[in-house]
Structure 1
Amino acid sequence: MTGIGIIGHGAIARYVAQALAMGGTPASAVLARPGREAAAQAALGLVPVTEAREMARHARLVVDCAGHAGLSANGAALLGAGCDVITLSLGALANDMLKEALKQGAEAGGTTLHLASGAIGALDALAAAAIGGLDHVCYTGTKPPAGWAGSPAEEVLELASLTEATAHFTGTARQAALSYPKNANVAAAVALAGIGFDATEVCLIADPAAAQNIHRIEAQGAFGRLDFIISGNALPDNPKSSALAAMSAVRAVRNQTAWMRL
């Protein structure tokens, strides 16, 4: 691995850049939208670039911290330019056209799209269980009402006046990922590890009693039964960003050079 780049300059990107620098493998460049170079440089202290080919001159591994829009706009071009890409934007892969473009980019560049585990755990067990066959997988995501601000939940519920836990979405992981691009990357991760976007059941809940974001995976198959729950903290400087998601991106980078991987 020669050189690390970052897409985006928000809370997760800042965490990743700081953690990599502290770990002795600092990033060298940040990919920003044209006109946002100064803001990106100020936020991360990295060389700002605006095109995939320019990023490829600085890095061979790029961490996507810019959400679905960042992966959609830059993923295929970066892969095609010779950069491996680590992404947290797994929900974007519910779009089959984007998924195909990313695949073609990776094949053209001889590169790989790495999926970070994000805000959830147990994906290794779920992926292993899928080898033997899964009969049922359900993901339930619960957040405080404020955690659903700016999402379609506002069209279903009066978030500010909720007095009890209330579901605002039930459906497939594909529907969740496409409808909630900023909130359903975990549902997509579960789907990709298990039985796919269309067979994975999803329930999204707003709960005024919840102090953290709660993710639950229930699965059953030839392996037996799995029931996994994690309550995650947000990053201190952005309550909508998962701390574990940012940590998982750093771990994915470190795995590229580690002599032993788990």
Structure 2
Amino acid sequence: MKARSLLFNLWGDYIQHVGGEAWASTLAAWVRPFGVSEAALRQALSRMARQGWLEVRKVGNRTCYALSAAGRRRIAEASRRVYDGRDVDWDGRWRVLVYSVPEALRNRRNDLRRELIWTGFAHLSPGTWISPNPLEDSVRELLRRYGLEPYATLFVAPYAEPWSAPDLVRRCWDLEAIQASYDRFIARWEPRLEASSRLHSDEERFVEQIRLVHDYRKFLFVDPGLPRRLLPDTWRGHDARRLFQAYYARLRPGALRFLERHFEPTQAHDGGGEDRGVREHPGLS
């Protein structure tokens, strides 16, 4: 697991619920069980700050890291999708984004494409992306972030022809490949849930929980979170989610004890892990 991915997991799973910021020394203690050196940690934090995900605050000779506004939005959306899923009712309409971005802005265009895939859009044709989910606000924010509003138009409309809605879904998303990814996840983690008694220390449970979250979080880049009405009757994503939630709940108490043991409050948070936001974390319910 790369240090950057590990840090995103830590912010989504814990730090956002205890004030949103952490000392560099706290982060170092948390990543140490994964074999991440302090040099690699500093490099990852510096990169995340340059990319606009983190803000850096100096207090004497100590350094504190907090999510930026963009980071908070990203973590909140990722957490909602990881711990709650979507399972939205479909309103029968499609969100269609059409853009024509000058070649001089191709780097921004490439960034926008990556963000659209992460958000759950599919590439329909050159310069055209679609989603059945109500993501208008997310698209507007992306266009503002990359300064591409003058080059794009967003439509919300029902679909007419020539394909049925399920046919259009199959044309835009490789559902068989997504199902296979869920099958691999289940095959990997179901035996580990059954053998979870082998984990004897809080540190082991913490490491296992973060690895579980990291593996499940990959579906944010694979599964667009289609409404149930557009999914096959036997959708393995539902089985994978139940497995994830069951194992997460089993690992969480020990993992939380490990996190609390090494957490040193910052000015943004003067309480420990008993913070109400942590205890109401979706994974704890």
- Please give the TM-score of this superposition, normalised by the length of structure 2: 0.25
The structure richer in strand per residue is: 1
Q: Which has the larger radius of gyration?
A: 2
The structure richer in helix per residue is: 2
- Which structure is richer in relative contact order (CA contacts within 8 A, separation 6 or more)? 2
- Please give the TM-score of this superposition, normalised by the length of structure 1: 0.27
